Structure 1
Amino acid sequence: MARRVVGIGGTLRPRSSSEMLARAVLAECAALGAEAVMFDGIALSELPHFNPEAPTRNAAEQALVAAVRAADALVIASPGYHGGVSGLVKNAIDLLEDTRGDARVYFDGMPIGLIVSAAGWQAGGVTLAALRGIVHAMRGWPTPVGIAINSIEQKPFGADGTLIDAGIAAQVALQARQIMTFGVSEAA
């Protein structure tokens, strides 16, 4: 059975570096046999502000929660805004509070690849650490390889969207392998 990997992230800017990096990891996972689906910035913008007291969810909220419930692994990609996770991505993560009563609570036992694209190394590192903390709080297992790029100094993609930076491509491939191999004996 193929692993199901869900990507969450990006910005409202089409082809943002965080979204493209998440898509690159998902493509590597698909090449390794995964079924992959992406909830990009445009999809995340359809989510209202999370309200745990609201009894109903719109179609976009239901789709994200259902995809995560069916997932074997996640990829979460955020821009580093002022040293933190973007509100768009954090709102999507907060919505996953809806899984608190499930048989698998939150991200329990799931491998989760984390990606940050920030305009500086400090913001990238701090945001990656924040994502790791969030994932740990939600019982997930961040992959050992977390990807953080400095979007001022690094341009990983060519004009056609092809991943052209060999070092980043190697990180993408390694993160995908870790996502696909973590916990396989338990999931099988």
Structure 2
Amino acid sequence: MNKPLVVGIGGTIGGLSSTERALRIALEAAGEQGFCTRLFGGDALARLPLYDPKATSRTDEEQAFVAAVRQASAVIIASPGYHGSISGVVKNALDLLEETARDAERPYLADVPVGLIATAYGWQATGSTIAALRSIVHALRGWPTPFAAAINSQVTKFDDEGGASDAAVVEQLRLVGRQVARFAPLVVHDAAALA
């Protein structure tokens, strides 16, 4: 890999969701800025076992996820708003980043720009979900980008071609992708060196 990486984390179990479609739009915009992108969508997140802090080994899926985040110059996290907060599968993936706690070069998401996206069937949960994501990113020492996309999926519908019924929403998602690319260090991280 000779280009810096943006990792996308988000989606739901059970097929391609509005959340994952939104995340794909943001990642595409980051890719247009010269970054490689890697998506950990709903299917990938569903394969991560519940995080066990006392486990002495990790599955191949867990190892691949942690290695990708270690290599990332930026991250975009997208979550559906479930009962006013982030979904369990997204939180489980973020909990797995505890594996990076003792990394000498960059523990957790230290100094990494992180774009945020929340989707919900109504406006109320979008705001509280973004707030929860910001709090988690701060706890992981990351830098939430100034703009976060809050999408009411009751109003905005995504299509199979990578677009949405509201052009303003597409532009907001693209802005998330452009901001993480703009703020990301233009370096390629070596996962082995970070471990």
TM-score (normalizing by structure 2): 0.91
Q: Which amino acid aligns with 2:169?
A: I
Residues 2-81 of structure 1 correspond to what in structure 2 (within 5 A)?
A: 2-81=3-82
Deviation at 1:162, TM superposition (A): 2.5
Deviation at 1:183, TM superposition (A): 4.6
Contact 1:3 1:72 in 2 (8 A): yes
Label 1:57 to 1:159 Cα distance change in 2 as closer, same or farther (>3 A).
Answer: closer
Question: Where does structure 2 lack aligned partners over 5 or more consecutive residues?
Answer: 189-195
Q: Which amino acid aligns with 2:123?
A: W
Label 1:46 to 1:159 Cα distance change in 2 as closer, same or farther (>3 A).
Answer: closer
Label 1:53 to 1:3 Cα distance change in 2 as closer, same or farther (>3 A).
Answer: same
- The Cα RMSD (Å) is 1.5
Deviation at 1:159, TM superposition (A): 4.8
Contact 1:24 1:172 in 2 (8 A): yes
Contact 1:75 1:112 in 2 (8 A): yes
Deviation at 1:164, TM superposition (A): 4.0
Contact 1:78 1:116 in 2 (8 A): yes
Residue 83 of structure 1 pairs with residue 88 of structure 2: no
Alpha-carbon distance in 1 for matches of 2:77, 2:160: 24
Question: Where does structure 1 lack aligned partners over 5 or more consecutive residues?
Answer: none
Name the structure 2 match of 1:138. Answer: 140
Segment of structure 1 superposing worse, 171-180 or 75-84: 171-180
Segment of structure 1 superposing worse, 121-130 or 175-184: 175-184
Query: How many residue pairs end up in the alignment?
Result: 186
Q: Which amino acid aligns with 1:80?
A: G
Segment of structure 1 superposing worse, 142-151 or 165-174: 165-174
Q: Which amino acid aligns with 2:137?
A: V
SS in 1 for 2:79: strand
Deviation at 1:57, TM superposition (A): 0.1
Please identify runs of 4+ aligned residues in structure 1 that moved more than 3 A. none
Alpha-carbon distance in 2 for matches of 1:71, 1:141: 13
Alpha-carbon distance in 1 for matches of 2:125, 2:95: 21
Contact 2:16 2:42 in 1 (8 A): no
SS in 2 for 1:12: coil
Residues 97-116 of structure 1 correspond to what in structure 2 (within 5 A)?
A: 97-102=98-103, 103-116=105-118
Deviation readout 1:138-181 (Å, 9 max, x if unpaired):
000011110111111222x2354423421112112211221111
Alpha-carbon distance in 2 for matches of 1:183, 1:48: 30
